[in-house]
Amino acid sequence: MSWSPDYPYNDLPLLPPKADLETVPIFKALVPARAELSGLNEALVSLPNPEVFVNSLALLEAQASSEVENIVTTTDDLFRADSYAADASPATREALRYKTALFHGQDHIQNRAGLLTVGLAAEVCSEIRGTITTLRCAEGTYIGNPVTGKPIYTPPAGKQLLETKLQNWAEFVNSETELDPLVQMAVAHYQFEAIHPFDDGNGRTGRILNVLMLVARQLLQAPILYISKYIIRHKNEYYRLLNAVTEHGAWDEWVVYMLHAVESTARSTRLKIKSIQQLQAQFIEQLTVDTGTHYPANFSEVLFSQPYCRVKDVIEGCSVSRPTATKYLNALVDAGMLEIHTAGRDKLYVNTSFMSILRAAESDV
């Protein structure tokens, strides 16, 4: 294997790797990762209306995955913009496009018999970037040291070569191998990042493809595993281990890292869902007691599908008139259960307790 950071890695080996991917360290990391992922999926499936949580959790992944690429927005700004996008910053709009790309990918998986394709990767990247994205053709693409600019890695070059490598990646992703799907995901993620098929957006696209693989393999009902938060916390290790696979074929350490990421993320997401469920139950108890008003059964679902709520959301979600929707929301403001924020001419009703859970670090949940 020949490789130099200064030259295109055209000899990037095709998948599957020739390395042993069933080692003792990998197996030891795989067992708790599968257990936590199964627990997360069971928590989601057991919910009477999973969609209530999916949007919020997808936004958290959008925020974290964008932050890996130094596109930074706050949780409050992101959720506010998801409800009222008129005053969103460029970084926030870019993070919102990530959520759109994630759900676009989910729709593709459901409509294409669970297949991940090269075309899907390009569609996801296009949604993220907000422009039609095709395979890179320009010469001179490389990943450099952020301080010195010195090349750290130069991906394969040439459109035909990229097409060949990507088609091999797609065949591996969709193949029924003896590898556990989580190990397969870890391998596929390295390969996609090493191919680096687009001019921009490769990292975010690759992380969306990760969770779509789990949905396609029916390990998750919805794309709610926001693994990017783990990567942010261990960012140097993430890039070090990617490079170690390239330089030394160190698949063992890379796969173990990704399995730990799945384990940690699945556990924290499950606990966050539990905290939101508990808050929603308390909220429902308070509704009638504190306000003396009887609400439609799905009113709380509207308030927990997004922490920023508009009168329009209640009208559409509960099939009530504007005066009735306004009355419901103002009663909760008077009871101290919601806060009013202005956005242009609109009023946004904020579920601050819900926002606090979403904003909290995993260790605080």
Which residue positions form the known binding site for ATP?
A: 69, 196, 200-207, 238-239
The whole-angstrom separation of Cα 115 and Cα 121 is: 11
- Positions at the binding site: 69, 196, 200-207, 238-239
Q: 110: buried, middle or exposed (CB in 10 Å: 19+, 13-18, 0-12)?
A: exposed
Q: Which one of 189, 196, 234, 294 is the catalytic residue?
A: 196
196 annotated active-site: yes
The dihedral region occupied by 70, where left means phi > 0, alpha psi between -120 and 50, and beta the remainder, is left
Catalytic residues: 196
